[in-house]
């Protein structure tokens, strides 16, 4: 990856990070983007360099890696790897999701845990950064296999987490079903009924609106970003990649805000419905049947299914919301979107746009909402779930949703203000990195060398 550092300190540090974390390109990518944004901050505040804050920030406080043995339905022993990266606890207990996907290895969990530090800080709530997961693939497994895997995973993870220590949640491959099994096993091992996980079911301590929060928050952010430029989502055509938790509830809120969502995808391919996606069919296929998105065209023959997920960015749209996975939208896809007149892109997934894609959008004047800011509604609502658990009380859907809305509006303005303050007006990538960083860095300085 090309390095654009002006300052020698940052270039040397980045080279050291690459050498000390070999074979982890996603982690290098995430760190480099943040360090590039922090150069102007450290020019004004050299104490962040002099007191070792930057070097501490890029080194996880703790990396836990463990064997996850379980028995499949045919009686065969299966071995997976489990991870939890406790990255930074300067402003609160570690907080971040668990990802179950065959592509998971230490570098993926480190990139996600690193980004989580800044995202969590941006929410304005007291949560540190962490992430975990496994290379286990829930696809094609029976409920009982998923349960046995989750119980084994938690048997080890329980030693390292706690309601005031580290609070995991969902991410790719981890939804309500998995959180339920994980919570049950934690409670059994520790004999404690505490809010140690978020995204719990509503019958056992979950918060209303957590399921919807990431997708809804993404749209609240996008709407505010557009409103600030005298525009809105109403009447716009939207393309959303993925068809999981984030994509489904982004589709629901975008539609409520008067936009028309015409495409969704999964890792096999994408559907295009020029009449607007009918979300009830998608929810049935993905949430109930756990089937593939191509089933949609059986219910709605006007829609077209195309094999291969990356082609989704060829569809003409005003707004693109990548909500599947990292590096799913590259420079060429960005150029196609720009040529087709896209006005706004906001990231529901973590790091879905490659560095080349981000540069292309910024050069073309496309409004660009980076993941750390745009998808922070999920973890923000997780923090609201923690508050409700501590209070032993639950808020109504409307109360949680209105707090989520307020948080997303504030995140947009804080990122926009930080960008402007450092002479990078409208660069929300830099603004989000800087606004997220300053609170964590000041907390680290105050707490000394720890």
Contacts of 107 (CB under 8 A, 6+ apart): 21, 23, 24, 25, 26, 27
- Beta carbons of 217 and 376 less than 8 angstroms apart: yes
Which partner, ligand NDP, ligand 2IT, none, binds residue 95 by CB below 5 to 8 Å per kind?
ligand 2IT
Q: Which of 95, 131, 200, 253 is catalytic?
A: 131
Interface with ligand 2IT includes 88 (CB under 6 A)? no
Q: How far is the CB of 293 from ligand NDP (least distance, A)?
A: 7
Which residues lie closer than 8 Å to 313 by C-beta, 6 or more apart?
A: 239, 241, 320, 329, 333, 334, 336, 337
Residues present in the chain in total: 450
Residue 95 makes contact with ligand 2IT by CB under 6 A? yes
| Among the residue ranges 20-28, 86-94, 297-305, 346-354, the one whose residues contact ligand NDP (CB under 6 A) | 346-354
C-beta separation of 210 from 385 below 8 A: yes
The nearer residue to ligand NDP, 10 or 168, going by C-beta atoms, is: 168
The verdict on 146 binding ligand NDP (CB under 6 A) reads no
**Tokens 């719990």 found at:** 200
# residues near ligand 2IT by CB under 6 A: 11
Task: Please choose which of ligand 2IT, ligand NDP, none residue 96 contacts, taking the beta carbon within 5 to 8 angstroms, the exact cut-off set by kind.
Answer: ligand 2IT
Stretch that binds ligand 2IT, among 92-100, 153-161, 303-311, 316-324 (CB under 6 A): 92-100
Around Cβ 199, how many Cβ atoms within 10 Å?
Answer: 28
Cβ-contact 107, 24 below 8 angstroms: yes
Residue nearer to ligand NDP on the CB measure, 155 or 267:
267
Our finding on whether 134 is near ligand NDP (CB under 6 A) is no
Q: Is residue 243 at the binding interface for ligand 2IT, with CB under 6 A as the rule? A: no
What is the number of alpha carbons within 13 Å of residue 430 lying toward its C-beta? 19
Instruction: Say whether 231 is catalytic.
Output: no
**Least distance (Å) between residue 450 CB and ligand 2IT:** 23
CB closer to ligand NDP out of 296 and 422 = 296
| CA-based nearest residue to 431, from 53, 34, 127 | 34
Cα 82 to chain center, whole Å? 19
* Region from 1-9, 53-61, 94-102, 179-187 binding ligand 2IT, contact rule CB under 6 A: 94-102
Residue indicated by tokens 């709605």: 300
Q: What is the distance between the terminal CA atoms of the chain, rounded to a whole angstrom?
A: 32
Nearest to 31 by CA among 169, 141, 129: 129
Which residues does 237 contact at the CB level (< 8 Å), separation at least 6?
259, 260, 262, 316, 317, 318, 319
Q: How far is the CB of 324 from ligand NDP (least distance, A)?
A: 4
Q: Pick between residue 168 and residue 431 the one whose CB is nearest to ligand 2IT.
A: 168
Write the binding mask 135 to 174 for ligand 2IT: x where contact by CB under 6 A, - elsewhere: ----------------------------------x-x---
* Residue ranges of E strands in 266-353: 269-272, 304-307, 319-322, 344-346
Q: Check: CB of residue 65 under 8 Å from CB of residue 106.
A: yes
Per-residue string for binding with ligand 2IT, 109-138, x by CB under 6 A?
A: ----------x-------------------
> Which of the residues are catalytic?
131
Residues in the site for ligand 2IT, rule: CB under 6 A? 95-97, 119, 169, 171, 198, 350, 378-379, 382
Residues in the site for ligand NDP, rule: CB under 6 A? 170-173, 175, 214, 242-247, 266-268, 309, 323-325, 328, 348-350, 375, 378
């Amino acid at each position: 990856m090309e390095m654009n550092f002006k300052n020698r300190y940052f270039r040397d540090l980045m080279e050291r990070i690459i050498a000390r974390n070999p074979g982890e390109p996603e982690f290098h990518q995430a760190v480099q983007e943040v360090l590039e944004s922090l150069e102007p901050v450290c020019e004004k505040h050299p104490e962040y360099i002099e007191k070792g804050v930057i070097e501490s920030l890029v080194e996880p406080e703790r990396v836990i890696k463990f064997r996850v043995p379980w028995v499949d339905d045919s009686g065969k022993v299966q071995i997976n790897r489990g991870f939890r990266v406790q990255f930074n606890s300067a402003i609160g207990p570690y907080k971040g999701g668990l990802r179950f996907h065959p592509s998971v290895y230490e570098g993926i969990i480190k990139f996600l845990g690193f980004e989580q530090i800044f995202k969590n800080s941006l929410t304005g709530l007291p949560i540190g950064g962490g992430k975990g997961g496994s290379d286990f693939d829930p696809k094609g497994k029976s409920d009982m296999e998923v349960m046995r895997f989750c119980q084994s995973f938690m048997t080890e993870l329980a030693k390292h987490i706690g309601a005031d220590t580290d609070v995991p949640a969902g991410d790719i491959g981890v939804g309500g079903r998995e959180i339920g099994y994980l919570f049950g096993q934690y409670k059994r091992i520790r004999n404690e009924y505490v809010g140690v996980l978020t995204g719990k079911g509503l019958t056992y301590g979950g918060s209303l609106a957590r399921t919807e929060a990431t997708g809804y928050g993404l749209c609240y952010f996008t709407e505010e970003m557009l409103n600030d430029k005298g525009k809105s989502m109403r009447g716009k055509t939207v393309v959303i990649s993925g068809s999981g938790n984030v994509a489904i509830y982004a589709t629901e809120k975008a539609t409520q805000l008067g936009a028309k969502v015409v495409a969704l995808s999964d890792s096999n391919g994408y559907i295009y419905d020029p009449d607007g996606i009918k979300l009830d069919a998608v929810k049935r296929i993905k949430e109930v049947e756990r089937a593939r998105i191509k089933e949609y065209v059986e219910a709605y023959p006007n829609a077209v299914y195309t094999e291969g997920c990356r082609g989704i960015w060829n569809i003409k749209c005003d707004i693109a919301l990548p909500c599947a996975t990292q590096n799913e939208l590259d420079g060429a896809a960005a150029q196609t979107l720009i040529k087709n007149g896209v006005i706004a892109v906001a990231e529901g997934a973590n790091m879905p746009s490659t560095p080349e894609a981000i540069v292309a959008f910024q050069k073309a004047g496309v409004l660009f909402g980076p993941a750390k800011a745009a998808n922070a509604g999920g973890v923000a609502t997780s923090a609201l779930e923690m508050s409700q658990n501590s209070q032993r009380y639950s808020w109504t859907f409307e109360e949680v949703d209105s707090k989520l809305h307020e948080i997303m509006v504030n995140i947009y303005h804080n990122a926009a203000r930080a960008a402007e303050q450092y002479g990078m007006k409208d660069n929300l990538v830099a603004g989000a990195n800087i606004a997220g960083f300053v609170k964590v860095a000041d907390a680290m300085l105050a707490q000394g060398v720890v």
